[in-house]
Amino acid sequence: MKIAFCCTGTKPEPWLNGLRTALPGAEVEVWHAGAAPAEHAVVWAPPQQFFDEQPQLKGIFNIGAGVDALLKLRLPAGATVVRLDDAGMSVQMAEYVCHAVIRHFREFDAYEADILAGKWSYRKPRERAEFPVGVMGLGVLGERVAKALSQFEFPVMGWSRSAKTIAGVQCFAGATQLSDFLRASKVLVNLLPLTPDTRDILRLETLSQLQGGGYVINVARGAHLVDEDLIALLDSGHLAGATLDVFRDEPLPAEHPFWQQPKISITPHTSARTLRDESIAQIAGKIRALEAGQPMAGTVDLARGY
């Protein structure tokens, strides 16, 4: 069995070694133009030429959870596209989002400023009930995040395409319940996949439905958020702040106004990183399942876009 490795921006050797160990007998090589046909591909941001030259591929394994960039390409007809299914990401996402929510709720930035100014001062404890958190997307990552937030006894809401029941989370579903979900939320966490239905979903019309003094945490994709609308709502005071891990252009350009906005905390797309060993083990298991004709988690529905 041949496996082509085509991951832009990823050092290949440790992946090749790991995949060869996990799949003894498989030929795993870095793809180059004109390379021999492979059965499976392990990819991240591959060029279109890769798929044009490998139309026979049976399995395409994305080394991330989001497949929005991959689905912009013309993919081989008949190939099964598979995303990482947690592989150590959900715990990272839960710690990132809980940290952002708690940092805001407990006013740790203000304490930090006081301490830097040599000031010993207390702030009045705030009511948890006044900080309902809404999680958009209740998939592999969103469900874990919603459950983690509920452990801190915040009122937690969730919104997804299909209806769900999750202990400790008030669930809303579909476009018809979006307004109810937003109006019930003060802190909004975005964990939706980027699809034609969700592009620009964080815009004036939706964000202005959050409760006054709202807070936005975007950890999914930059193109979910209309940047100017976020800035307008921060300037008007309707929103108190935002934590952003993802941006329309990455790295965030030096001239982008987000850099200068003190109410926005920025991290460089790092909220849930691909962990190599977990990912290799998962991909090897999925390749074995696909070869054996067995079902597997993480298969992407191309029509749905995630």
Active site residues: 221, 269
Strand, helix or coil for residue 301: coil
Q: Give which of ligand NDP, ligand OXD, none residue 138 binds (C-beta under 5 to 8 Å, depending on kind).
A: ligand NDP
AA letter at 38: A
Distance (Å, rounded) from C-alpha 145 to C-alpha 138?
9
Q: How far is the CB of 299 from ligand OXD (least distance, A)?
A: 16
Q: Give which of ligand OXD, ligand NDP, none residue 306 binds (C-beta under 5 to 8 Å, depending on kind).
A: ligand NDP
The interface with ligand OXD within residues 55-74 (CB under 6 A) comprises: 64-66
Distance (Å, rounded) from C-alpha 273 to C-alpha 300?
20
Q: Considering only residues 66, 155, 214, 241, which one is a binding residue for ligand NDP as defined by CB under 6 A?
A: 66
Sequence-distant (≥ 6) Cβ neighbours of residue 129 within 8 angstroms: 155
DSSP E strand boundaries for 166-273: 170-173, 187-190, 214-218, 239-244, 264-266
Say how many residues touch ligand NDP, by CB under 6 A. Answer: 29
The interface with ligand NDP within residues 4-63 (CB under 6 A) comprises: none
Q: Considering only residues 18, 46, 137, 155, which one is a binding residue for ligand NDP as defined by CB under 6 A?
A: 137
Kindly tell me which of 211 and 243 has the beta carbon lying closer to ligand NDP.
243
Nearest Cα to Cα of residue 43 among 13, 2, 88, 12: 12
Kindly tell me which of 65 and 135 has the beta carbon lying closer to ligand OXD.
65
Kindly tell me which of 65 and 149 has the beta carbon lying closer to ligand OXD.
65
Cβ atoms 258, 227 nearer than 8 A: yes
Kindly tell me which of 264 and 272 has the beta carbon lying closer to ligand OXD.
272
The side-by-side arrangement of strands in the sheet containing 59-62 is 27-30, 2-7, 40-44, 59-62, 80-82
Q: Give which of ligand NDP, ligand OXD, none residue 160 binds (C-beta under 5 to 8 Å, depending on kind).
A: ligand NDP
Radius of gyration (C-alpha) of the chain in whole angstroms: 21
214 binds ligand NDP (CB under 6 A): no
Applying CB under 6 A, which residues contact ligand OXD? 64-66, 274
